[in-house]
Structure 1
Amino acid sequence: MKKIVLFLVMCLSAFPVKADEGMWFLMFIERLNHRDMEKMGLQLTAEEIYSINHHSLKDAVVQFNGGCTAEIVSKDGLVLTNHHCGYSAIAELSSAEQNYLRDGFWAKERSAEMKPKSLYVRFFVRMDDVSKRILSKVNDKMTETERNKIIQQEIALIEKENSEGGKYTVSVRPFFQGNEYYYFVYQDYTDVRLVGTPPESVGKFGGDTDNWEWPRQTGDFSMFRVYADKDGNPAAYSKDNVPLQPKHYLPVSIKGVKENDFAMILGYPGRTNRWMPAGGIEQNVKYAYPAWVEGAKTGMDQMKKYMDKDATVRLQYASKYASTANYWKNRQGMIDALTKAGTAKTKAAQEAKFNAWANKPENKEKYGNVIATINKYYVETNLKSRHDNYLTQLLRTSAYGVAPATIGNALIGYYKETDNNKAQMLPKITALIGNVYGDFYAPAEKDILAAQLNLYASKGAEYGLAPEIAKMKAANNGDFTNDVNNAISKSIFANKEAITAFMENPKPEVIATDPLFVISNDLIAKFRAKSPEQLKADDDFAIAYRELVEGLRTSKLNAIQYPDANSTLRLTYGKVRALPADKRNDAKINNYTDMQSMVKKYKAGDQEFDLPARLLELNKAKDFGQYADKAGYMPINFLTDNDITGGNSGSPVLNGKGELIGIAFDGNIEAMAGDVIFDSKLQRTINVDIRYVLWIIDKYAGAKNIIDEMTIVK
């Protein structure tokens, strides 16, 4: 049997399969992609994917809380997304006594569904091209400041025209570095409630060790429900709200997948930079990303020290830690992949060809200095990029780094206002204080700030530190421990009790000299500061970058037809596709993992590789029900070669009929260069097999009420 399987794999490899690069606008699918998709296995019309006048697939795909994707899977507004996308909401609803993050949660009836404080989904209504309208208002004689002002004025008009009096959220976005503009119309629903989540040992199985790795065995999913008023309109949370009746929802297929099956993904990819010049790649690899990695790890180490000691602290910092860890490993993977692939050299070779074209007599006036301007900019900003990334990680991981300046400046403004304006401002300031100190543990914050200041003062000094930090470093020899301790002991921003006491008996004059405010305000001011020379360099670079992209498209030296990702709805298509055989995965073809491979990784009591006793019992009994593969194994994850990036987390993976076969949740670390340059050989999307999702809900959790809501295709 093994010889037959090996022969089949060799046959497949004899006919090379090309991964399909591209994150495509839905409005152009019929013109650019539909015929190619049909050849690969699509059975839907372009109208069934994107329609303004009729329900279509786009009506079942939502942006989840601004940073992920999710899909509607029932007529009653049931939402499926990743566990890591719902992570912060699950943590918020948890306590040390009722820890849904650790133990899981399943609402057996609608009344048990739980509402987090702040969570929304965004439905895509329509889009259109407004490039001619906007670009007709500007010309090459304008400065960047003049150009941007006029463009923003026109954008404001377009957004107002299409909002229907505030019914819709409208966003006009630039593409191809400002060479094209499109508007997007959305409708937001804010009453979104938790329906179910597996325990963290399932939803985050493998933890940081397996993150961005293949083979993978992670049940990365969670479930929510969208509620609306009785007429189906968005409404604030109310017990009178009813489950949304969506225009379209996805049927769920349990037929399974095999090598070369068609797979398409709709979602909201966050950011790619495939037009990035060679100098930008070099800057990221040598300056920006190493600083990001080191700064993130410094914050993580301090958080984890306290999270491991206290269950309540672990819940408080769970979301921040997970987010920091995710990008920490991602950026290190980017460094390794971009270096190994020689991406900067590839881009430099393309730019050399462009420069030759640009300096032909007919092109020289407009494009002749583009490459020189871009290269000069990166040389001048290398040290700044390193400094800014150390400072960014300080501000991202340290509440003391940001909160004192944010709250302090709000209070300074508040105490200067008249009584009428104060009445309007106070609720916002009170809410800000509640948000800052809601998930806050002072001992951890003290150590995070001290460690990050030590790192920043050491590694960011070559560019130039924030002035007050530089003074402190000169006096403390680079060890900020005592300075931080002293500042916290004297600060009104030390904790919620201190700021509350201050507001009950305010002395506004002390804010400006408060020691934590001085540190925080200094850091933020440094982060925002730009000299006239820097502003001029930024403007010159923006013009050159825009002209580079325009020139590359005009000259046909770059064949990319799709714009970079920027959190707008896109479609990507490809196939189920294996990676080369890997001894870590005993699957017959290295395009899936099964329950046995997960159990082999099981380590009782381990924070990353523990498994629930019930799951182990069900596996031992081979109680897989209708969700087992026809070959007998219980599938967990599978691979496709779709072109995705961050923001696609939670995206539906669909077969040719538009049926849900999986949920996208990760990529493979070997292809981390993919945000800059697509690797058709290595790039893969790691997906949760929908059969595993359903098995967890049905067999493990016994939440058959949720299964019964969905349309299951056998």
Structure 2
Amino acid sequence: MKKLLLSLIVGIMLIPTSVKADEGMWFLMFIERLNHRDMQKMGLQLTAEEIYSINHHSLKDAIVQFNGGCTAEVISKDGLVLTNHHCGYDAIAELSSAEKNYLKDGYWAENRKAEMKPSSLYVRFFVRMDDVSKRILSKVNDKMTEAEREKAVNQEIALIEKENNEGGKYTVSVRPFFQGNEYYYFVYQDYKDVRLVGTPPESLGKFGGDTDNWEWPRHTADFSMFRIYADANGNPSDYSQNNVPLKPKHYLPVNLSGVKEGDFAMILGYPGRTNRWMPAGGIEQNVKFAYPAFVEGSKVGMDKMKVYMDKSEALNLVYASKYAGVANYWKNRQGMIDALTKFGTAKSKAVQETKFNKWANKKENKAKYGNVIANINKFYSLTNEKARHDNYLQLLFRASSYGTIGRTLGKQLENYAKADVAKRKEMYPKLVETADEFFKEVHIAAEKDIMAAELNLYATKSKGYAIAPMVEKIGKENNYDYTKFVNAAFDLSILTSPERFKAFLELPSETMITNDPLVQLSNDMITHLGSKSDEIAKAQNDYGSSFRLLVEGLRESKIGTIKYPDANSTLRLTYGKVRSLPADKRNDAKVNNYTTMDGMVKKYKKGDEEFDLPVRLIDMNKGKDYGRFIDKDGSMHVNFLTDNDITGGNSGSPVLNGKGELIGLAFDGNIEAMAGDVIFDSKLQRTINVDIRYVLWVIENFSGAKHIVDEMTLVK
């Protein structure tokens, strides 16, 4: 791998040493200065202006954040949007029913009128960004507590956001980078009328299920399609039958040539969170305390959900999306434990921190940096058991729809009860709508089992840190079997049926809602999660300032080698190449950088929920019925590998060639490099992508929806 010499922004970033070309999640506004020359050497044929421009259309205008958590791309002049199947999963599940199960059977709109609007779905376009570090940092000083610093920063952020939103036209977000040593603002425009165009059946979109998740070789059609609608002038608009497909500033052409080892590949998207500056103590805490609790809590919730999902198609739809979300992170966290342990990441960080501490205690540095490592280590030693406790409790909140009911429906009903008659009349329709949506996504028998099991796990496994008082009291009285209490609480609560909920709206009582047993339990747990001792509060304050100084000092001393900010759901570009893993007998492909439909069919297990396949696909593969999307080697390529640096939030990101043409769709990473959120492994880190030709084959040949493909601009 060639080495780079990057010249960074004077006074903002330090001049870096060598960095792997495939490592880094880079700001688009700095591509010209930081990365463009190296990208050209690797195969980029675009100018920096064609990637990011404020005044002209560019690649950035085709990339959207999808519903706040994934990435998607515009691929036609009529606002057609491509993202992952698992990113569209919630919307597809919402639009499905037992009679018309689009998750199971797939769906392709035969025309624009057949495109379906979920209740809540939006995309966010990136308009521009700028540096406001000097402005914000001028408002703080070293004498401030972390709370005082945060207040001063937030006050300035509010002013910056107001100055740049153009009267509410744009959403403006100011975000910290390098642990609060730099700040940038981002301007976005949101479109809320987004409709489902199509999705493959779940047997293709989730092929391999939990077994293959985070694994290679992979054979998954992890994609779905939507369309952005706007008013007649192209502006954002709430849903209306009068809205028309958006005419985007830029959309991506689709390349049908396929990829080979060493081809240039870049990915643009919204990576959610990396922690590559995390201290050794934080890594150790996650591996030994936080993540094991997360994994165990996830498994308990999944097992209880699955019992009911297997009972009927209707119940499967109720919990399909929640189960998928919990299962995804369950396997991710276990992979993180394994990878971070295997590679001794905490030890390598500790070595770096020992070196830093020596530098920090030199005479000229001691006053500023001398206590940094000691403060950081003290914080982690005080919070290890709390981290375990918090993860058990947070997984209860993730798995149980009633875990946080006190601050959601409960709080809304309390406010309703306190309001005057006129205000109640105004609130009533929205509350009824909220309740209707809530009860669509719960099954009371399942919720009882989930709650009782998660409470038992939380109460019996969080012994190193005091549990919530109400949970402890109930546990002691019932030998930590919460079944009896939970059953009684659900029977008494006004939040367990639409009828009880609406009856409360007719005769509201503040006492009734605050005394509701599920609201009381929820509030007890939420309050406890947010509480901390004075000792921990002091350590947390010292940790906040010390972590910021650690990052500043690592950059100043050049002991730290990371030259890009951690991911935080802002638009980034990563570049690398198509790159194989060592030969694997499980993959029938000639080079272990792609998989084929033949390999997919070999995994087929009739009736298996993870590895079943449509008979039509098996027959088409047998006849090599690949149409115009066949590879030159005579096979249908399904997924392929690149060495791009991505993380959660990049799901749905476009994989582009040197001309900015779409060649694939990022959807996963390999479990061997699961430590990638903390430390980049240049040998093992891979991005798993759907080959765009397989996407088009599924739409045109398998599904018979050629009219969707005809919208796109196809090139070879």
Give the TM-score, by structure 1 length. 0.96
Give how far 1:104 is off: 0.4
CA distance in 2, matches of 1:423, 1:551: 57
Task: Flag the 1:682–1:710 CA change in 2: closer, same or farther, 3 A.
Answer: same
* Partner residue in 2 for 1:72: 74
Equivalent residue in structure 2 for 1:562, among 561, 564, 571: 564
Shift of residue 618, structure 1, vs aligned partner: 1.0
Structure 2 Cα separation of the partners of residues 401 and 667 of structure 1? 31
How big is the shift at 1:251?
Answer: 0.4
Partner in structure 2 of residue 537 of structure 1: 539
Q: Quick one: distance in 2 between partners of 1:157 and 1:357?
A: 38
Greater Cα shift, 400-409 or 635-644: 400-409
Q: Name which of 218, 221, 227 aligns with 2:220.
A: 218
Equivalent residues of 1:300, 1:324 under 8 A apart: yes
Which residue identity is paired with 1:300? M
CA deviations on 1:28-79 (whole Å, 9 max, x unpaired) are 0010000000010000000000000000000000000000000000000000
1:4 aligned residue:
none
Letter in 1 for 2:602: K
CA distance in 2, matches of 1:425, 1:242: 31
Matches of residues 484-499 of structure 1 in structure 2 within 5 Å?
A: 484-499=486-501
- Structure 2 contact 432–502 (Cα < 8 Å) conserved: no
Q: 1:405 to 1:78 in 2, by over 3 A?
A: closer
Q: Which residue of 1 aligns with 2:360?
A: 358
Cα offset for 1:404?
4.5
Code of the aligned partner of 1:378:
Y
The amino acid that maps onto 1:625 is G
In the TM superposition, 1:593-612 aligns within 5 A as: 593-612=595-614
Identity %: 72
Give the one of 448, 472, 493 matched to 2:450: 448
From 496, 507, 510, the equivalent of 1:508 is 510
Query: In the TM superposition, what are the counterparts of 1:44-193 in structure 2 within 5 Å?
Result: 44-193=46-195
**Local SS of the residue matching 1:623:** coil
Correspondent of 2:275 among 250, 273, 283: 273
- Listed one character per residue, the Cα deviations across residues 632-652 of structure 1 (whole Å, up to 9, x for unaligned) are 110000000000000000000
Paired AA for residue 374 in structure 2? A
Alignment of 1:324-403 (within 5 A): 324-403=326-405
1:418 alignment counterpart:
420
2: distance between equivalents of 1:688 and 1:665? 7
2:462 corresponds, among 436, 448, 460, to: 460
- Structure 1 distance, partners of 2:124, 2:202, is 26
- Greater shift in the superposed pair: 656-665 or 394-403: 394-403
Partner of 1:5: none
Contact 2:416–2:508, Cα closer than 8 Å, also in 1: no
Cα distance in 2 between the residues matched to 1:225 and 1:512: 43
Question: Within 1, Cα distance between the matches of 2:458 and 2:104?
Answer: 35
Alignment-derived partner of residue 265 in structure 2: 263
Across the aligned residues of Structure 1 and Structure 2, the Cα RMSD in angstroms comes to 1.2
Conserved? CA contact 2:382–2:536, under 8 Å? no
Structure-2 separation of matches of 1:460 and 1:232: 53
Secondary structure in 2 matching 1:138:
coil
- Measure, in 1, the Cα distance between the counterparts of 2:407 and 2:358: 50
How far is the alpha carbon of 1:493 from its aligned partner?
Answer: 1.8
Equivalent of residue 635 in structure 1, options 634, 637, 653 = 637
Q: Go from structure 1 to structure 2 and tell me whether the alpha carbon gap of 1:530 and 1:18 turns closer, same or farther (over 3 Å shift).
A: closer
SS at the partner of 1:399? coil
* Aligned counterpart, 2:699: 697
In 1: Cα distance, 2:189 partner to 2:227 partner: 16
Shift of 1:561: 1.3
Answer yes or no: is the 8 Å Cα contact 1:19–1:680 preserved in 2: no
- For 1:210-269, what per-residue CA distance to the aligned partner results, in whole angstroms no more than 9, with x for missing partners? 000000000000000000001000001111111000000000001010000000000000
Q: Match of 1:227?
A: 229
SS at match of 1:709: coil
Write the letter of the residue equivalent to 1:71. Answer: E
- Give the 3-state SS of the residue equivalent to 1:589 in structure 2: coil
Distance 1:462 1:530 in 2: 14
Indicate yes or no: 2:290 matched with 1:288.
yes
CA distance in 1, matches of 2:613, 2:704: 17
1:534 deviates by 2.8
Matched with 2:25 is 23
Matched-pair contact (CA < 8 Å) for 2:24–2:564: yes
Kept in 1: contact 2:193–2:239 (CA 8 A): yes
> Which amino acid in structure 1 is aligned with residue 173 of structure 2?
S
What SS does the corresponding residue of 1:664 show, helix, strand or coil?
strand
Tell me how far apart the structure 1 counterparts of residues 216 and 87 of structure 2 sit (CA, whole Å).
20
Question: Displacement of 1:502 after TM fit?
Answer: 2.6
Contact preservation (8 Å) 1:404, 1:493: no
Q: Which letter does structure 2 place at the counterpart of 1:568?
A: T
Distance in 1 of aligned mates of 2:609 and 2:671: 22
SS of 1:125's partner is strand
Deviations 1:244-296 (A, max 9, x none): 00000000001010000000000000000000000000000000000000001
Aligned residues between the structures: 698
SS in 2 for 1:42: coil
Q: Which runs of 5+ in 1 are unaligned?
A: 1-16
Give 1:434 shift: 2.7
Deviation at 1:558, TM superposition (A): 0.9
Give, in whole Å, the separation in 2 of the partners of 1:257 and 1:514: 60
**1:38 equivalenced with 2:40 (yes/no):** yes
